[in-house]
């Protein structure tokens, strides 16, 4: 007899259209289909955690329980938060992570080579249709690849690494549909800040988001990652983009075997399956700036133009990928940053930094006066190169909460890499469209 929690629609009730999120969850729960609100036990395809969320929290609990990891090949450990270690506490955390990785004999360890949400897909760990969890709030980034990925805490992660399973209530999916054409110098970060301003930090209501429309389909993979990444800032559990040839080309390029991508066309939402659709027009979108101390305090750049800044920061999984470095370089090529402004650049991964070096993008930034920082979470997570008392910062990060990136007196404005570069050039918040013309 089928468990009531897994019953889905009966034969007397036709199956409702299924969203991409529902289809992935159904596969993980070994069901043909699932209904919104059902509570299901799902099998996890991949669990990711980092030096902050992983061994230092999981190792003591696993030892106390006397159990091990259910499938080491489905676990990825990334050292990105406390590296490079700046003090004794950081050194101890990183050393514990490395020692534990050896003791557990983990096959997938990425040490000091970039931020988890960027290095995970660039190492080919994600596929359309996968059901994944991460020990970090920005784990929805994985949804850009047509997978269902969400962040969980240490206790939930303990259950996952022991059993390979997790309970999930099937969410509604809210579609965020974009039509039109983005202006030069306007990108995914502007789209996301605008959506947060319109819908609020709880716009996702702990549901699933799906980004749709011609604008989204025209975005390169790393720009889609920015959208999914900042689904967390809207309170969403997961934030997805349906797989298409752009997805497949990216994954093939990072070494995913062709046979692993068979059937990618199956991972899409059925017509009529969304709980709600919000429509947005790219034609009217100006560069967006979020004022301290919330991404929800977003307005068009004209509202904050001429605000002086001390530091321009290009960093984090949201704003320092290769596509972001290229955007900043397009503004700064042949230019020098304002004499009263510091430009700090922390590429999101070593691979992206190397590609930026090979193609000359990195040199453009250095010639403009950029200070190059390690491939780590850095200031975004409040570690390492945080900002001094009283500084006003223009940042490409996802969050600007009070005291997150330095003392409470630090004022952090958020914008795209284009906008950060424009601010570095002018010494104040500026409309990048005027700089690029």
pLDDT string in tens for the chain (437-residue length): 223 333 333 344 568 999 999 999 999 999 999 999 999 999 999 999 999 999 999 999 999 999 999 999 999 999 999 999 889 999 999 999 999 999 999 999 999 999 999 999 999 999 999 999 999 999 999 999 999 999 999 999 999 999 999 999 999 999 999 999 999 999 999 999 999 999 999 887 889 999 999 999 999 999 999 999 999 999 999 999 999 999 999 999 999 999 999 999 999 999 999 999 999 999 999 999 999 999 999 999 999 999 999 999 999 999 999 999 999 999 999 999 999 999 999 999 999 999 999 999 999 999 999 999 999 988 888 876 679 999 999 999 999 988 888 889 999 999 999 999 999 999 999 999 999 97
Spatial distance between the Cα atoms of 313 and 300, rounded to a whole number of angstroms: 20
Q: What single DSSP character describes residue 277?
A: E
Written as six digits, the tokens of 30 are: 């070994």
The domain defined by 43-169 folds into Aconitase; domain 3 (3.30.499)
E strands in 234-388: 238-240, 276-281, 288-290, 298-300, 311-314, 342-345, 370-372
Alpha helices (H) in 143-279, listed in sequence order: 154-163, 188-199, 214-217, 221-229, 245-253
- Let me know if the fold of 43-169 is the same as that of 288-436: yes
- CATH number for the domain formed by residue range(s) 288-436: 3.30.499.10
Written as six digits, the tokens of 160 are: 């996952």
Q: At what angle do helices 322-332 and 350-359 cross, to 10 degrees?
A: 40
E strands in 321-432: 342-345, 370-372, 392-395, 411-414
The owner of tokens 């910062």 is 393
pLDDT in tens, 383-417: 766 799 999 999 999 999 888 888 899 999 999 99
- Residues forming a β-bridge with 40: 168
Domain range summary for the chain, segments of one domain joined by +: 43-169, 288-436
Spatial distance between the Cα atoms of 33 and 7, rounded to a whole number of angstroms: 9
């Amino acid at each position: 007899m089928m468990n009531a929690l897994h019953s889905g629609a009966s034969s007397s009730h036709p199956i409702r259209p299924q969203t991409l999120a529902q289809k992935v969850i159904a596969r993980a729960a070994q069901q043909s289909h699932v209904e919104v609100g059902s509570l299901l036990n799902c099998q996890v395809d991949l669990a990711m955690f980092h030096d902050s969320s992983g061994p230092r929290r999981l190792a003591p609990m696993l030892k106390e329980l006397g159990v091990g990891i259910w499938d080491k090949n489905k676990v990825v450990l990334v050292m990105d938060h406390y590296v490079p270690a700046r003090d004794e506490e950081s050194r101890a955390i990183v050393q514990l992570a490395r020692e534990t990785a050896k003791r557990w004999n983990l096959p997938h360890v990425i040490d000091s080579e970039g931020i988890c949400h960027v290095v995970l897909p660039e190492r080919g760990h994600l596929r359309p249709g996968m059901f994944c969890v991460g020990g970090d709030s920005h784990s929805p980034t994985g949804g850009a690849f047509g997978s269902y990925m969400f962040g969980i805490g240490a206790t939930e992660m303990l259950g996952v690494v022991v059993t390979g399973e997790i309970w999930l209530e099937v969410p509604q999916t809210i579609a965020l549909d974009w039509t039109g054409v983005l202006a030069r110098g306007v990108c995914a970060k502007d789209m996301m800040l605008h959506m947060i301003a319109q819908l609020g930090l709880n716009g996702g209501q702990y549901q699933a988001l799906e980004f749709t429309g011609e604008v989204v389909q025209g975005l390169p993979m790393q720009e889609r990652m920015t959208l999914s990444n900042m689904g967390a800032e809207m309170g969403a559990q997961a934030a997805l983009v349906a797989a298409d040839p752009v997805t497949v080309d990216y994954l093939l390029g990072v070494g995913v075997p062709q046979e692993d991508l068979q059937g990618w066309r199956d991972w899409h939402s059925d017509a009529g399956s969304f709980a709600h659709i919000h429509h947005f027009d790219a034609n009217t979108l100006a560069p967006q700036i979020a004022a301290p101390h919330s991404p929800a305090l977003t307005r068009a750049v004209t509202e904050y133009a001429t605000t002086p800044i001390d530091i321009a920061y290009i960093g984090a999984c949201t704003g320092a990928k290769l596509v972001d470095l290229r955007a900043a370089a397009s503004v700064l090529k042949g230019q020098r940053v304002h004499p009263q402004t510091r430009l700090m650049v922390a590429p999101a991964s070593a691979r992206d930094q190397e590609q930026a070096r090979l193609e000359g993008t990195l040199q453009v930034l250095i010639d403009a006066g950029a200070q190059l920082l390690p491939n780590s979470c850095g200031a975004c997570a409040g570690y390492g190169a945080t900002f001094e008392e009283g500084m006003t910062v223009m940042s490409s990060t996802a969050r600007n909460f009070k005291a997150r990136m330095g003392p409470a007196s630090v004022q952090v404005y958020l914008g795209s890499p284009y906008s950060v570069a424009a601010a570095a050039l002018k010494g104040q918040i500026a409309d990048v469209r005027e700089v690029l013309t």
